[in-house]
Amino acid sequence: MTAGRDKISLTIAENLLEIGAVSLSAGEPYTWASGLKSPVYCDNRMIMGYPAIRQLVSGGFADVISEYQIACDVIAGTATAGIPHAAWLADVMDLPLVYVRSGAKSHGKGKQVEGILFPGQRVVVIEDLISTGMSSTAVVAPLEATGVTVSAILAIFTYGLKRAEEAFKSFDIPLYTLTSFTDLIGVAAKSDRITEAELASLKSWHSNPEAWSRQFTG
């Protein structure tokens, strides 16, 4: 990560904590859809209410695409939280926008990808966050079924879990994120939002989420 991107990562992490988009609770963990217990919960939909932060995010995404010279003809948002951020980025870059449903429609034309795509186009996918990586990589097949290539997946935040790293490696698609769990807990500790004991618990969860979760599930 370059010095500029490192600064943006810390700034976004601070903003997410400030607006309550990320909540930390080591003592009373949250439950993910998978059933996994977690001391951290991220809801980047809250960014929609803060124009300055969403502009920072859009600019950050555009900078990543430019810095890493990612081939990009179309921006694709994942349903539902990735769609607004994809739309703002498409406006910044003056590019077409599509979005990918979680599943094909059961009526009409049965589409899963909404918008206009042409075979041979290069698509950058926008996610709000990366947890296990499964929902992010699940959009690859329906997009590629239209004849396009997924150049990269970009997200605002990543929990940085090993299972997500493995998922992206299996698809051989690069992932770029604007901020991370590691930077976020560092900012939280530095600003006294969490105690040393809570920081240790968060690090323990990060190193082995399943084992950490079991202490709350029996």
> Which tokens is 138 given?
């699940």
What's the pLDDT at 217?
74
Kindly report whether the global pTM for this prediction surpasses the value 0.85.
yes
| CA pair distance 209, 211, nearest whole angstrom | 6
Provide the pLDDT for residue 152: 97
What's the pLDDT at 106?
62
E strands in 80-121:
97-100, 113-114
The residue among 81, 71, 72 whose CA lies nearest residue 47 is: 81
How many other β-carbons are positioned within 10 Å of the β-carbon of residue 109?
6
Please state whether the peptide bond connecting residue 80 to the residue before it is cis, i.e. omega within 30 degrees of 0. Answer: yes
Question: Which residue type is seen at 66?
Answer: S
pLDDT at 3 (0 to 100): 66
**22-77 residue pLDDT tens:** 999 988 899 988 788 999 999 999 999 999 999 999 999 999 999 999 999 999 99
**Could you read off the pLDDT of 76-131 as tens digits, one per residue?**
999 999 999 999 999 999 999 999 998 876 677 779 999 999 999 999 999 999 99
